[in-house]
Amino acid sequence: MGTSFVLLDEGIVPEGTKQFVLEEKVGPVAIRVETGRVETGERPLIWLTTPPISYGRTYDRLRCAQALGLTAHDLLDITPQWLSAGNPTIFIALTDKRAVDDAWLDSHGVSIIKGADAAPICVFVFTPVPEGAYARMFAPEYGVPEDPATGSSTGPLAAFMIRHRLVSGAAGTRFVSEQGTKMGRRSILYVELHGDGGADGIDVGGYVTPVAEGRLTL
């Protein structure tokens, strides 16, 4: 979404374009733009269609709790699992917002969860709430202690929640994932299920707020 915003803001994608495609390592990613009202200065709501989701191995709940500085009682009775739509992520469902806020993870904690696995991963903790999910994402193996908004992991989050009946998988379902609140950078990502519903059609949307600008002169 950030890349799409820059392309629109710089005019690389023509003004008024409603749909275009980004060519990523995972393949083409469809982008849809909902234009805000110009007279009020509203930013566009940018949607991406989640690429095909892969499901991988599961992980021990107790090891995950230990790595996060939590107890087994802080985890829902759902087995943590690896999912990826291009960004390999382990999803761990927690009991409430307090548990999400209390969680912390460094590279040593990641090694506790992964065991002998060598490939780097992200770890996404969340709890279901009436609006959708309250979440945090840690990626110390990528040099990111905590990410305030992770669009590439939000589609797999939706798939994981659908699989475990934490949210409806019906086409037309909408919910939000609140992320980054604990670190003081609250972000809202929107999820919409389309097509036949379920994990086969997940759009993730968000507004982008520029925080810095740089110019490189050669």
For residue 137, the one-letter residue type is M
The pLDDT of residue 37:
54
Please choose, from the candidates 146, 137, 145, 135, the residue with its C-alpha nearest in 3D space to the C-alpha of residue 188.
Answer: 135
The chain-wide mean pLDDT, for the chain, equals 89
Domain ranges, ordered by start, for the chain = 54-182
Q: Which tokens go with 96?
A: 């409430």
pTM of the model: 0.88
Strands (E), the chain: 19-24, 27-34, 45-49, 54-58, 81-84, 89-93, 122-129, 132-139, 144-147, 174-179, 187-193, 202-206
| Residue range 188-197: mean pLDDT, rounded | 83
State the pLDDT confidence band at 39, using cuts at 50, 70 and 90.
Answer: very low
Q: For the chain, what is the radius of gyration of the CA atoms?
A: 18
State the pLDDT confidence band at 197, using cuts at 50, 70 and 90.
Answer: low
Question: For residues 83 and 89, is the Cβ–Cβ distance under 8 A?
Answer: yes
State the pLDDT confidence band at 199, using cuts at 50, 70 and 90.
Answer: low
Query: Which residues, other chains included, contact 180 with Cβ-Cβ below 8 Å and sequence gap of 6+?
Result: 136, 146, 147, 148, 149, 186, 187
The pLDDT of residue 41:
56
pLDDT at 195 over 80: no
For the domain covering 54-182, report its CATH number.
Answer: 3.10.310.10
- Comparing 1-10, 64-73, 145-154, which segment has the lowest mean pLDDT? 1-10
State the pLDDT confidence band at 143, using cuts at 50, 70 and 90.
Answer: very high
